[in-house]
Structure 1
Amino acid sequence: MFDLVVIVRVPEPDDVAPVADALARMRPLCLAEDGCVSWEAYQSEADPARFVLVERWASREHWEAHDAGEAIQGIYLPEILPRVEREVHPSAPVRRRDR
Structure 2
Amino acid sequence: MLKKDKQKVFKDVWSDDHIKSYLERTPYGDENPDFYVLNIAYRYMVADDFARLVTFFKEAGRDVDAVGPEGKNMKQLLSEHPNSEDYLAAL
TM-score for both structures, normalised by structure 1: 0.32
- Counting strand residues as a fraction of each chain, which structure ranks higher? 1
Q: Which has the higher contact order (CA 8 A, sep 6+)?
A: 1
Higher normalized helix content (fraction of residues): 2
* TM-score normalised by length of structure 2: 0.33
